[in-house]
Structure 1
């Protein structure tokens, strides 16, 4: 079980000479986190990559932090119980914060099932820098898609603590965007998100 570490009293934050605003000015756009949350199979990773492609084509600095990819390295060894899930999200939220400080539009694709953990991630960033995107999709459709065969394994008892089956998913109460991946195409969804970024003045 992961335990949250505390910062030793003799460790002091060292300010950088080049600021976040300096990096944003160099990039030509503001930086933020697009936090994609939803059930497994809802289309989070697919949508995050589609949005990144649109932004990259237009010359914006971007990076996708994907749940499975992060568990291959930084979060390798963490399980899927509540405490390890919390630590998983805490770590990625801290990494996302560094990317935002670097002036990068950061897209994170994680189930992140608990509201408290998503609130923790939001609290690390300045106002307007955390954009919660609920990729909404009925459980039945997620199971039908089941690109990794995980739902069937969960139903068979081969996977414990599986969100939507043997572990809860807490829907966002007031996300910045709700994308119904059962109704909209990937392209339509991605364009809607990019339009939101324009409306918020993050990109021009």
Structure 2
């Protein structure tokens, strides 16, 4: 049975808990957060208040939007400050990473990977794996700020070329270069799945 695409009400953002060395990444985090709020959507994210994670949450909250943070107890003082966590509209504390990822998946209607490290990569790749297995049809996006994800996108294409990405039609993340274009691309994709050329901001891996 084909899984239907749910209306977009919330967007899960995976990104670094550090600011990184390119100032554009923090700027993109704030811009994406503002865009999420401006479109009346809720942010679902890992609960961190530092780095790009904090920038996204701050962008949503400063624009009057709503934020759900989902964080394991053991990361409360590593990725966040308890005082800042109190500013979130909703905070879910989980026992471990597995529960965190499951709750983020349940509460989100789309997924975005901004620049980040191994944890960010692991989270978006798992979502892509579930799509390949037919477990969901929620939009997936690589926020390719200043070409950050280019090496990974090349690896994915290499995997395809070598015949290791089966049911490739189920694994079609959008690749968006500007943070301001991410939410419109998600809404266009969800509203017209399978119809290409909605806008030239949308490209597919």
> Taking structure 1 as the reference length, what is the TM-score of the superposition?
0.41
Q: Which has the larger radius of gyration?
A: 1
Structure richer in helix, relative to its length:
2
> Taking structure 2 as the reference length, what is the TM-score of the superposition?
0.41
